[in-house]
Chains A and B, each alone.
Chain A
């Protein structure tokens, strides 16, 4: 007997998200983001979401669309364009009601705490910085153990970043939810899945289970980052991380990213961008991106 088949469509994934939920988005900045799922959220009626992300255009797009009630982040960046224009605008216009800016290591510790079903984990990050000033809900905790000098250190008690839903994008998966990353960095996608009540994996390609490690170019087992026991649903979304990286399947689409950033700076240009790229479904998006590139080359 095989384990159950968890294949879903993009819309079936998004149908499992509810208004007001806390949604963790995997990847890192402009790298391997589950953008097809993010785009589906943009098209949905979902509102008042808490978004938890080491942010890139996922945060920018959701902020611009007014989907975010609360944002938990450590940075939002497009790397080659350091400041995410839609995030900047949202912050400077004050359109995200609640802001939780963490140190990027605290963010990982928060996910660990959630993944381990702990209320918090201690660390040094945050101490002395305005992260603790701007987030009075984050407390410190005194070590019960004296250090060699007899000091009981007071550490940041990083609260668990518990998620209702995690969305991650990996290179390959099987229909049961086992998934591999083929690029240089796993990021934290396994942690996002374990911190969530329900995790959904989008991937470039669904293979049979044997194909995840065997095949013409065998993949080391260490690349099996996500186990099916952490996963509620799987969806195949080719080019689904666009325009972020999905190494080695594809790198960041810098041309498109530039176009995105330029459009974000101007209301009229943004309306045109939305109309052209974000008004249809994922197939329409991918077709519009292909057309954009042939235009650029033509």
Chain B
């Protein structure tokens, strides 16, 4: 556990870098429904709402749009809307939504798998099921959060395509590709997108203390790289105050991305 006694001056942790990188994925979204799946995405989205994009619409992860920005897993105070599951589906099709999902596998072409490992007919490991990934990826902006970047996650080809990458979307025709928008893949090591040649996964930045070689070695395919790779920015001191004192005083973030 990292000491939270003093906010400024203490070293920035990897989890905090990830939170800022996730926040940056939502900063240019405007007034849309930000749907984070999982703890770090929730932290990053709430950080974005308190800094770069106050117009974001956020929910309690159940059925309420929250006017305020409560700490992780705290009850919201003011409610500004109702978003039961049936209305989530409406907003998916409406398009004003950016979801950040998890991914058990992501492949070279940015396809995602949360369905099954091994042959689909009889998986070696059954996962959640495709959930909303097929619909999300052909309707609204979709990003992925990978807390443990490894060659088990980043594979040449996913075993089952749940979330659709841009190449497959194009192959499926204009109805699939029109709104396909795989925006960012944020991991504990780096920030990536799918802007490489032939719609492949591209390395955008490596987190402080991580090298391009580290990321490549933890990836099961060759990453596209355009010129020199930047270092992911560290959160500002005011962002650190928000993360440490407002949104996540219990440092839950360190459980997902240990320092």
Contacts and interface: CB of A to CB of B under 8 A. Distances in A.
Interface of A: 28, 55, 73-77, 82-83, 87-88, 91-92, 94, 99, 101-106, 108, 123-131, 133-134, 143, 147, 149, 151, 153-155, 184-188
B93 A124 contact: yes
B120 A134 contact: yes
A219 to B, nearest CB: 16
A55 to B, nearest CB: 8
Given A75-B128, A103-B135, A104-B131, A130 B120 contact: yes
Interface in B150-198: 160-164, 168-169, 171-176, 178-180
A91 B123 contact: yes
B247 to A, nearest CB: 22
Given A94-B121, A102-B130, A128-B176, 18 more contacts: A28-B85, A73-B129, A94-B122, A103-B130, A103-B135, A105-B89, A105-B132, A106-B135, A108-B89, A123-B93, A125-B134, A134-B160, A153-B173, A153-B175, A154-B175, A184-B64, A184-B84, A186-B86
Contact of A185 (B84, B122, B161): B84
A128 B168 contact: yes
A188 B129 contact: no
Interface in B104-118: 115-116
Contact of B164 (A55, A75, A129, A134): A129
Interface in B83-98: 84-86, 89, 92-93
Contacts of B10: none
Contacts of B133: 103, 129
Nearest to A188: B86
Contact of B160 (A123, A124, A130): A130
A127 B138 contact: yes
Contacts of A105: 89, 92-93, 132, 135
A129 B128 contact: no
Contacts of B89: 104-105, 108
Contacts of B172: 127-128, 154
Contacts of A184: 62-64, 84
Contacts of A127: 134, 138, 164, 169, 172-173, 175-176
Interface residues of B, number: 46
A130 B162 contact: yes
The 6 lowest CB-CB distance pairs between A and B, nearest first, are: A125-B135, A75-B129, A128-B172, A127-B176, A153-B175, A129-B134
Interface of B: 62-64, 84-86, 89, 92-93, 115-116, 120-135, 137-139, 160-164, 168-169, 171-176, 178-180
A108 B135 CA distance: 12
Most chain A beta-carbon contacts within 10 A, residue among B93, B176, B180: B176
A83 B128 contact: yes
A108 B86 contact: yes
A17 to B, nearest CB: 25
Contact of A187 (B85, B122, B124, B139): B85
Contact of A153 (B92, B125, B137, B174): B174
A87 B126 CA distance: 8
